[in-house]
Structure 1
Amino acid sequence: MGNKNKWGNLYLVLVFAVLYAPILYLMYYSFNSAGNMHEFEGFTWQWYGEVFQDTRLMIILINTLVIALLSSAIATIIGIIGALAIDRIQRRRLKDAVLSLNNVLIVSPDVIIGASFLILFTIVGIKLGFASVLISHIAFSIPITVLMILPRLQEMSPTLVDAARDLGASRRDVLARVILPFIKQGIFAGFFMAFTYSLDDFAVTFFVTGNGYSTLSVEIYSRARQGVALSINALSTLIFLFTTALVVGYYMINRRAQTRTRRSEPAAEMGVPR
C-alpha cells in the first residue's frame, strides 16, 4: 500500500511539473533585464512597466474583462433557468438526451464552435466585434454553468419546496428564498468557471473578432508571432496570477460556506436558532 502511494505521489509531482514548469520558466524571464529568454542578466520591472504604459493593451484588457463579466453573468442566469428546466423533466430518456446535448458543446473542439459562429454571424449579418464575441462567449459558457448548478439542484430535497408551498409561499418566493439560496454555491462555481473560460478563450474568439476589436488571448497570440518580447511574458504572468487569485478566492469562499453549513446543522437538529 505504501509503495502504491509513493508511486502515485511521484506521478502527481511529474504531472504538475510538466504543467507548471513552462509557466514558471515564462514568469522567471519576465524579470530578465537582458531582453531575451536565453540568459538571465539581472532583475528588472521594465517589462511590467511597458505593459501598463501600452494604451492599446490596456484598452484590450478592459475589453476582455467586460466581455468576461457580461458573458459570465448572462450565462449564469440562463444556466440557472436551464438547470431548473432540466431538473423538472420527468422522463429519464428525455433528461439524458438534453444533458447529452449540453455536454456535447463542452467536449466539441473550439475550432468547430468558432467556425460555426463565424458562418452564423456572416449569414445573419452580425458585424464581427463586441457583439459577436459576447454572444459566442455566452453560448459556450452556458453548458458550463448548467453542469455546475444542476448537481447542487439535484441534491435539494423536494420536501423543502413542498414545505414552503404548504406555508403559503408563491412560486417566486420559493425560487428566491428556498431554491436560489440552496444552490448559491453552484451558481458561484458556474460564474467563476464561465469567467475563467471566457478570460482564457482563444480559439473561438479568434474566429469572431473583427478589425479594431480584440481580446487579450488574441492580442498575445498576434504579438508572439512577431517574435519574443518579454512584455508578453509579463502580461502572461499577470493573467496567470489573476486567474490563480480567482481560483483561490472561490476555494476560500466555498470552504467558508461549507464550514458554516456544518456548524449550522447540529444547531438546527437541536432546535437552536441560527
Structure 2
Amino acid sequence: MRRGIKWSKLYLAAVFIILYAPIFYLMFYSFNSGGSMREFESFTLEWYGEVFSDTRLLIIVLNTLVIALLSSLISTILGIIGALAIRQVRRLQSKQTLLSLNNVLIVSPDVIIGASFLILFTMIGLQLGFSSVLISHIAFSVPIVVLMVLPKLEEMSPTLIDAARDLGASRWEVLTKVTLPFIKPGIFAGFFMALTYSLDDFAVTFFVTGNGFSTLSVEIYSRARHGVSLSINALSTLLFLFTALLVVGYYFINRRTNNKPSNAEVGP
C-alpha cells in the first residue's frame, strides 16, 4: 500500500513538472537582460516596461478583459437558465439528450467551432470584430456554466421549493430566495471557468477576429511568428499570473461559500 502511494505521488509530481517546467522557463527568461533565451545574463524589468509602454498592447489587454467579463456574465445568466430548464425535464431520455447536446461544444475541437462560426458570420454578413468574438465566447462558455450549475441543482431537495411555496412564495421569490442562494457555489464556479476559458482562448478567437481588433492570445501568437522577443515572455507571464489569481480567488470564494451555513442549517 505504501509503495503504491509513493509511486502515485512520484507520478503526480512528474506530471506537474512536465506541465509547469516550460511555463517557469518562459517566466525565468522574461527577466533576462540578454534579449534571448539561450543564456541568462542579468536581472532586468526592461521587457515588462516595454509591455506597459506599448499603447496598442494596452488597448488589446482592455479588449480581452471586456470580452472576458461580458461573455462570462452573459454566459452565466444563460447557463443558469439552461440548467434550470434541463432540470425541469422529467423524462430521463430527454434530459440525457439535452445534456449530450450541451456537451458537444465542450468536446468538439476548437478549430471546428471557430471555422463554423466564421462560416456563419460570413453567411449572415456580420462584420468580424468585437461582436463576433463576444458571440463566439458566449457560445462555448454557456455549456461550461451549465455543467457547473446543474449538479448543484440536482443536490437541492425538492422539499425546499415545496416548503417555500407552502409559505406563499411566488415563483420569482422561490427562484431568487431559495434556488439561486443554494446553487451560488455552482454559479461562481461557472463564472470563473467561463472567464478563464475566455481569457485563454486562441483557436476560436483566431477564426472570428477581424482587422483592427485582437485579444491577448492572438497578439502573442502574432508576435511570436515575427521572431522571439522577451516582451512575449513578459506578456505571457502577466497573463499566466492573472489567470492563476482568478483560480486562487475562485478557490477562496468557493471555500468561504461552502463553509458558510445555509438558512436551513441555521434554523429559526
Per the shorter chain, which TM-score range? over 0.9
1:43 and 2:62 matched = no
Q: Which residue of 1 aligns with 2:146?
A: 146
Identity of aligned residues (%): 74
Q: Which amino acid letter does the alignment assign opposite residue 76 of structure 2?
A: T
Q: Which amino acid letter does the alignment assign opposite residue 19 of structure 1?
A: L
Distance in 2 (CA, whole Å) between partners of 1:84 and 1:262 is 21
Q: Which residue of 1 aligns with 2:11?
A: 11
Q: Which residue of 2 aligns with 1:130?
A: 130
Alpha-carbon offset, residue 261 of structure 1: 2.7
Give CA-to-partner distance per residue, 1:134-164, whole Å, 9 cap, x none: 0000000000000000000110000000000
Q: Which residue of 2 aligns with 1:114?
A: 114
Contact 2:75–2:141 (Cα < 8 Å) also in 1 = yes
Q: Which residue of 1 aligns with 2:234?
A: 234
1:2 and 2:2 matched = yes
Q: Which amino acid letter does the alignment assign opposite residue 132 of structure 2?
A: S
Distance in 2 (CA, whole Å) between partners of 1:50 and 1:263 is 52
Alpha-carbon offset, residue 262 of structure 1: 8.4
Q: Which residue of 2 aligns with 1:212?
A: 212
Distance 1:14 1:262, change over 3 A: farther
Normalising by structure 1, we get a TM-score of 0.96
Q: Which amino acid letter does the alignment assign opposite residue 229 of structure 1?
A: S
Q: Which residue of 2 aligns with 1:165?
A: 165
Aligned alpha-carbon RMSD (Å):
1.2
Distance in 2 (CA, whole Å) between partners of 1:160 and 1:144 is 26
Alpha-carbon offset, residue 251 of structure 1: 0.4
Q: Which residue of 2 aligns with 1:186?
A: 186
Alpha-carbon offset, residue 255 of structure 1: 1.0
Q: Which residue of 2 aligns with 1:52?
A: 52
Distance in 1 (CA, whole Å) between partners of 2:117 and 2:264 is 47
SS in 1 for 2:62: helix
1:74-93 equivalent positions in 2, closer than 5 A = 74-93=74-93
1:176 and 2:151 matched = no
Distance 1:263 1:121, change over 3 A: closer
Alpha-carbon offset, residue 259 of structure 1: 1.8
Q: Which amino acid letter does the alignment assign opposite residue 147 of structure 1?
A: L
Distance in 2 (CA, whole Å) between partners of 1:64 and 1:245 is 16
Distance in 1 (CA, whole Å) between partners of 2:220 and 2:129 is 18
Give CA-to-partner distance per residue, 1:111-150, whole Å, 9 cap, x none: 0000000000000000000000000000000000000000
For structure 1, which segment, 251-260 or 88-97, has the greater mean C-alpha deviation from structure 2 after superposition? 251-260
Contact 2:76–2:187 (Cα < 8 Å) also in 1 = yes
Q: Which residue of 2 aligns with 1:197?
A: 197
For structure 1, which segment, 50-59 or 247-256, has the greater mean C-alpha deviation from structure 2 after superposition? 247-256
Alpha-carbon offset, residue 264 of structure 1: 8.2
Q: Which residue of 2 aligns with 1:101?
A: 101
Alpha-carbon offset, residue 263 of structure 1: 11
Give CA-to-partner distance per residue, 1:55-79, whole Å, 9 cap, x none: 0000000000000000000000000
Distance in 2 (CA, whole Å) between partners of 1:258 and 1:167 is 26
Contact 2:111–2:204 (Cα < 8 Å) also in 1 = yes
Q: Which residue of 2 aligns with 1:23?
A: 23
Alpha-carbon offset, residue 257 of structure 1: 1.6
Q: Extract unaligned runs of 5+ from structure 2.
A: none
For structure 1, which segment, 74-83 or 253-262, has the greater mean C-alpha deviation from structure 2 after superposition? 253-262
Contact 2:185–2:258 (Cα < 8 Å) also in 1 = no
Q: Which amino acid letter does the alignment assign opposite residue 154 of structure 1?
A: E
Alpha-carbon offset, residue 104 of structure 1: 1.0
Q: Which amino acid letter does the alignment assign opposite residue 250 of structure 2?
A: Y
Where does structure 1 differ by over 4 angstroms across 4 or more consecutive aligned residues? Answer: none
Q: Which amino acid letter does the alignment assign opposite residue 189 of structure 1?
A: A
Distance in 2 (CA, whole Å) between partners of 1:264 and 1:252 is 23
Normalising by structure 2, we get a TM-score of 0.98
